[in-house]
Structure 1
Amino acid sequence: MTRPEGEAAHYRALESLYAAAPINKLFDSTLEIESGGLARIRFTLDERHFHAAGAVHGTSYFKMLDDAAFYAANSLVTDRFLLTTAFTLLFTQPLGVGPVIAEGRWTNGRRRVFNADARLLDAGGEEVARGTGTFMRSRIPLATLPGYRTA
């Protein structure tokens, strides 16, 4: 098997970092980065994610949207971990049990601050929420984080 190089190696390392994060043990989810500035996360939601009225709680929406936007932005940064500094959400429909896709897209910024949008799609492909995030470079080198493996 050939090892990925360059950008592809960075994308695979970010996918590995996502999988290694302790919070992601609580979610049935997978990150996919196919190209710079774009990220897709596939989630499966169940009743554990519900609020008292029987639909998915807003914290799950935030998690999915923030992660997709974050990884879209961090796919363009190979040396540092980004940090979310602001995130705005718009809820348009309630979610229930089943698969959801969060799609993130970098919109602008490349030096210290990055902006990215994300949207949530239900099993039928309909948008149920969207968000916009601002992310900044941290002092944390990606290479020092457990899970970030380029080889």
Structure 2
Amino acid sequence: MNKAHFEKLERMYLSANVNIELFDTTTAHITKGKAEIGLKVESKYFHALNAMHGSVYFKLLDDAAFFAVNSVVEDAFVLTKSFEIHFKRPVTEGKILAKGELISSDGEAFIAKSELVNETGKVVGYGRGVFVKSKVALTSEIGYR
């Protein structure tokens, strides 16, 4: 287990402009093959029916699965090749937690799943994606420090 790698990934995630400027991420915890991303639900994420927009579900589900994969890839930034999500129920308040887990890899492609749970532990959405290594090295220039 490479704790330093996990901590660098956590810092990279939390220092990304999208997470600083647009999202109020509360948690980023990464271990081997797993990641958890937390978010405080706010009205700025709501669509016209006053519930969280699907794009926020996607972001959190993709992020958790992505970092579950990047936890086992220590030399390069990974990319999402495809991702499928399923919505189970609306979110209107509280905190939500995306939990990602690496399922398999053939050396070129990685498959990971994730679920999004509300404060009461109910699954509000879930997804599965395919990820690949990019040609971009994990360096301090991209926040990996």
Which category describes the TM-score, using the shorter chain as reference length?
over 0.9
**Is residue 2:31 matched to residue 1:31?**
no
Partners of 1:110 and 1:77 in 2: how far apart? Answer: 13
Offset of 1:20 from its aligned partner?
1.3
Q: Which residue of 113, 123, 141 corresponds with 1:117?
A: 113
* TM-score, structure 1 as length reference: 0.91
Q: Which runs of 5+ in 1 are unaligned?
A: 1-5
| Alignment root-mean-square deviation, CA | 1.1
**Cα offset for 1:66?**
0.2
1:39–1:110 Cα change, 3 Å:
farther
Structure 1 runs (4+) greater than 3 angstroms displaced: none
Cα distance in 2 between the residues matched to 1:38 and 1:110: 18
* Correspondence list, 1:62-81, <5 A: 62-81=58-77
Q: Which moved more, 1:132-141 or 1:107-116?
A: 107-116
Query: Can you list the C-alpha shifts for 1:69-90, whole angstroms capped at 9, x where unaligned?
Result: 0000000000000000100000
Distance 1:69 1:77, change over 3 A: same
Q: In structure 2, how many angstroms separate the alpha carbons of the residues matched to 1:76 and 1:17?
A: 15
User: What is the number of equivalent residue pairs in this alignment?
Assistant: 143
Describe the superposition over 1:59-114 as per-residue Cα deviations: whole angstroms up to 9, x where unpaired: 00000000000000000000000000100000010111210010000000052211
Percent of residue pairs identical: 40
The aligned counterpart of 1:21 is: 16
The answer to whether the 8 Å contact 1:20/1:146 transfers is: no
Q: 1:21 to 1:84 in 2, by over 3 A?
A: same
Q: Tell me the secondary structure at the aligned position of residue 114 of structure 1.
A: strand
Checking the alignment, whether the CA contact within 8 Å between 1:19 and 1:147 is kept in structure 2 is no
For 2:106 and 2:92, the matched residues in 1 are separated by: 36
Query: Is the aligned partner of 1:107 residue 2:100?
Result: no
